[in-house]
Structure 1
Amino acid sequence: MTSRAGTLAEPSDLIDPEAVSAAYYDLIPDVTNPAQKVVFGTSGHRGSSLDSAFNEAHIAAITQAIVEYRAGQGITGPLFIGRDTHILSGPAERTALEVLAGNGVHVLADAEGGYVPTPVVSHAIIAYNADPQNTDQADGIVVTPSHNPPRDGGFKYNPPHGGPADSDATTWIANRANEIIAGGNAEVKKSMVSPGRHDFLRGYVIDLAKIIDFEAIKKAGIRIGADPLGGASVEYWAAIRDAYDLDLTVMNPSVDPTWRFMTLDWDEKIRMDPSSASVMASVVARKDEFDITTGNDADADRHGIVTPDGGLMNPNHYLAVAIQYLYTHRPEWRSDAAIGKTLVSSSIIDKVAESLGRRLWEVPVGFKWFVPGLIDGSVAFGGEESAGASFLRADGTVWTTDKDGIILALLASEILAVTGKTPSQLYTELTEKFGDPVYQRVDAAASKEQKARLGKLSGDDITATELAGDPIIAKLSEAPGNGAAVGGVKVVTEKAWFAARPSGTEDVYKIYAESFEGPEHLKRVQEEAKTIVDAALGA
């Protein structure tokens, strides 16, 4: 059967918004069922109301738990709240506002009642806490499941550092929320007091001049096509165009809870992942109309970069180019500022770091690990293989501590304006210098018990000494950058590597692999990776 990936969604693919909204209020979760409990992943609690995994009881309890957590931490400043365009984000924001008001928390919501991207909430928290006139500390909530399908909802907490909460905070909040739900939400306090208002858009857009060289973009006449993919950045792109007088077209300003204008992802589901060629098919089709074309997911924490000569860039490729450019065009950054990457990102970044004479700071999956370095300037760039990154302002101070797909999209135009070359052309130059790696992620079946064992696996449990004919030089279960557990293993040779991590949502484990020896070698690495991991798991 022919795959429909990359083709326009059909009526049968679309959600019934009314049914999804009704289920939010009508279905009551049973927290003795693991599938209906509050569980914080790397980016908050996510699920669908239709599965009793994201309902009013969840959000009321999570918000009450956040109120108690912030009180325990002595956080007394305002709480910034923003939502994306998912159908469940509106009801969830309303629930959260009622609980926050019931507990007397000073809340700042969007001045126009509009959508607020994830990085904009992070930016607002950081700006408030950096102001010496403010003696208290602000934090925030973002209501978004990011790039997830239209039926899903998401809810995440950002403490005063502005980035994703660490596992200590999220574990406490999730456990407390489940206790509250188990008690019938009797401990939840609610009120209908209206929130305070904050001009998120103006504050963020004006500040962009401190991190992006708009003069260079304008002078070079770069023609930009920006597609919000129906997400929260839609008003922001128009505002950026007007504020900086750019030749910028908002390719699709539509917002529709069904996302009927999207092309289907690899599994024929509607997703707003700008790093997916299938999702970005309609954007790529217009690549010759612009010098740089970009996409963002629903909360704009991810980016997709399209060039006329190269099409949609692999996220790893663009991260390598962005790093090479930024560390040679930001003279005010600290000379000892490291390059941050997750350990499943391409090792061409390692080679770029070495050529720049910069320290590589390799951490587990999850943007939260970059937060301390971005705050103190010791890490000037932090990036994930899944097309999420942020970097410092031109003066070397913190911009956001959450992923910012808007600045990464704008950076592509700055790179072309300043160098005269597209990011695709610059990546080709990097491969000519360092080699051309082949990278892929695949899934392998695993039971819940095997996934649990994989998550606790030590590098010492790997008995293999060779991988695809080369000696193994490292077996890692802790990240080299900060010594944190990776929740799996990474095995490295001089020519290739693989990493295996359990999926948080499915009965599979993910195998990330890369080879500098071509596709056939990569396939061998993947096959042997499965054999090595299965042996360690006793499969």
Structure 2
Amino acid sequence: MNDRAGTQATADDLIDVEELIAAYYRRQPDVSIPEQRVVFGTSGHRGSSFNTAFNEHHIAATTQAIVEYRASIGIEGPLFLGADTHALSNPAKTTALEVLVGNGIHVLVDEYDDYVPTPALSHAILRYNNDPANKKKADGIIITPSHNPPGDGGFKYNPPHGGPADTDATSWIAERANELIASGLSDVKRAEPTGVDTYDFRGIYVDDLQNIIDMEAIKNSGITIGADPLGGASVHYWQAIAERYDLDLTVLNPLVDPTWRFMTLDWDGKIRMDPSSASAMASVLDHQGDFDIITGNDADADRHGIVTPDAGLMNPNHFLAVAIDYLYQNRRGWHPEAAIGKTLVSSSMIDRVAASLDRRLWEVPVGFKWFVPGLIDGSVAFGGEESAGASFLRKDGTVWTTDKDGILLCLLASEIRAVTGKSPSQLYDDLTARFGAPAYQRIDAPATPEQKAALKKLDGDAITATELAGEPIVAKLSRAPGNDEAIGGVKVVTENAWFAARPSGTENVYKIYAESFKGAEHLAQVQDEAKRIVDAALGG
């Protein structure tokens, strides 16, 4: 924890926006240098123009690659294009538009030249593709590095299913983009982006919220809501929601500034718009007693933060458990066999809630993309990640978004408060009274690149230990129970505890997620033994 975590950003913490944008156009990547290549992670290509990792050549080449990819699989409908409030997002949007128009793609941008949250883009793609009148499928590009610091840019492709592209698509796009950069962009087509059509992302999304959230209950309850967009793309959405549904909702900070000078510093001393971090949300927490519910979103509004008067900022795992318990008892239009989706590093409190509801638990690897098929066909009614990202079905059991929706989860917190008369944190206390109070934490352990590569391919059978922190091991997993996909690491489970180990994609460490229903001391023992177990399996 940095000494300045949770304190107000100062002038020395701020990026030089003009220099950042100048570097976007001036610096040209050399794809023989790994750090300068186009690389798609779970949420697209990310980087800073200062590091020659997110520059005009990257975006021109990646957009051209997307054009070629969509043509190769027969996507002929429009492409929805949106961007968040990061400084590099608008230049990248301009570059992408030039390439899309140069290739004759029918592009739809925001009608009011507004910022576009990730869930609004997913909503738009699904709405278009679910209309029987539209014979040709649409897809989309959202330009955002999510909650990353102000100096970063991000570029993500969402195919016709509306969610994050799978690795078969992203690998193809990245490889082709790097080929285009290496050839000096000779095959990239560009044109002046004139005559581009528009789409009312905000109005259509906000109007449709009544079909997934009980907005009448929120209004009639009279509860007070404070919504902080943290300088992100949801800023105008919250005001529109307040006006459309006549809610007692105050937008706590309507300011958009690409330096994010109004933020408090995150745990490591960086400006990061993470609504699940108490350090990043410190200024929001100053209002803790002023509203019945306070919410926060990251820059593209795919993550949520929930603040209650009695408990402050809720742990994301805690809110997911409460949301699941509430929704599966109050959404009568959901199919009785619809499963509960969770990532394997989310809290086992969800497992216990699922058992009490007599619902099937669908546990998948890290990455929201795994929930997409189930959300589309209704076989999974809720999908959530421990990092404060989730989405769920409409009241009638049909798909809403196939990407994370932070606005939705924030509104759900208000519905829960309005309908039950209790805050989500009070309801979590009720769950712990029934099922126990777990201690959960993620830590890092050092690992060489070779050890990280070995861990990613490690088979659960390679773990020879039979006990973990005094309890018999009941499962050693290298594939997720829900869909039998590789988890890129291992998970070891006992009756009252578990740990999962996964290599970091950017640092020479591996991440250990661990939880114990036997208290903090037992959790520390689990973490200590987890390192020994993993190191032994890796030959360390």
Q: By the TM > 0.5 criterion, same fold?
A: yes
Letter in 1 for 2:110: D
Identical columns (%)? 74
Distance 2:40 2:211 in 1: 33
Distance 1:394 1:231 in 2: 28
Distance 2:22 2:295 in 1: 34
Distance 1:463 1:265 in 2: 39
Residue pairs, 1:313-328, within 5 angstroms: 313-328=314-329
Letter in 2 for 1:162: G
Alignment partner of 1:353 is 2:354: yes
Instruction: Identify unmatched segments of 5+ residues in structure 1.
Output: none
Distance 1:221 1:103 in 2: 51
Residue pairs, 1:236-275, within 5 angstroms: 236-275=237-276
Q: 1:489-513: CA deviations, max 9, x gaps? A: 0000011000000111111111000
Provide closer, same or farther for how the CA distance between residues 80 and 447 of structure 1 changes in structure 2, counting only shifts above 3 A: same
SS class of match (1:289): coil
Provide closer, same or farther for how the CA distance between residues 450 and 264 of structure 1 changes in structure 2, counting only shifts above 3 A: same
Q: 1:194-238: CA deviations, max 9, x gaps? A: 221111111100000100001100111010000000000000000
Q: 1:461-503: CA deviations, max 9, x gaps? A: 1111111111111000000000000000000001100000011
Match of 1:209 in 2: 210
Distance 2:345 2:187 in 1: 42
Match of 1:391 in 2: 392
Match of 1:469 in 2: 470
SS class of match (1:531): helix
Residue pairs, 1:299-318, within 5 angstroms: 299-318=300-319
Deviation at 1:114, TM superposition (A): 1.1
Distance 1:358 1:495 in 2: 20
Contact 2:144 2:300 in 1 (8 A): yes
Alignment partner of 1:286 is 2:291: no
Distance 2:331 2:434 in 1: 22
Contact 2:2 2:267 in 1 (8 A): no
Deviation at 1:193, TM superposition (A): 2.8
Residue pairs, 1:129-528, within 5 angstroms: 129-194=129-194, 195-528=196-529
Distance 2:270 2:511 in 1: 20
Match of 1:59 in 2: 59
Letter in 1 for 2:532: T
Distance 1:299 1:461 in 2: 40
Distance 1:271 1:20 in 2: 17
Distance 1:22 1:504 in 2: 28
Contact 2:266 2:277 in 1 (8 A): yes
Alignment size in residue pairs: 539
Q: 1:364-420: CA deviations, max 9, x gaps? A: 000000000000000000000000000000000000000000010000000010000
Match of 2:34 in 1: 34
Q: 1:336-387: CA deviations, max 9, x gaps? A: 0000000000000000000000000000000000000000000000000000
Distance 1:85 1:496 in 2: 40
SS class of match (1:358): coil
Cα RMSD for the two superposed structures = 0.8
Deviation at 1:450, TM superposition (A): 1.0
The TM-score normalised by the length of structure 1 is 0.99
Letter in 1 for 2:422: K
Deviation at 1:2, TM superposition (A): 7.1
Residue pairs, 1:34-113, within 5 angstroms: 34-113=34-113
Please identify runs of 4+ aligned residues in structure 1 that moved more than 6 A: none
SS class of match (2:510): strand
Distance 2:49 2:99 in 1: 19
SS class of match (1:209): helix
Distance 1:158 1:278 in 2: 31
Q: 1:297-323: CA deviations, max 9, x gaps? A: 000000000000010000000000000
Distance 1:172 1:457 in 2: 26
Distance 1:40 1:490 in 2: 25
Distance 2:131 2:357 in 1: 34
Distance 2:475 2:426 in 1: 32
Provide closer, same or farther for how the CA distance between residues 2 and 268 of structure 1 changes in structure 2, counting only shifts above 3 A: closer
Q: 1:155-214: CA deviations, max 9, x gaps? A: 000000000000110011111111111111111100013221111111100000100001
Distance 1:40 1:424 in 2: 36
Q: 1:222-279: CA deviations, max 9, x gaps? A: 1000000000000000000000000000000000000000000000000000000101
Match of 1:119 in 2: 119
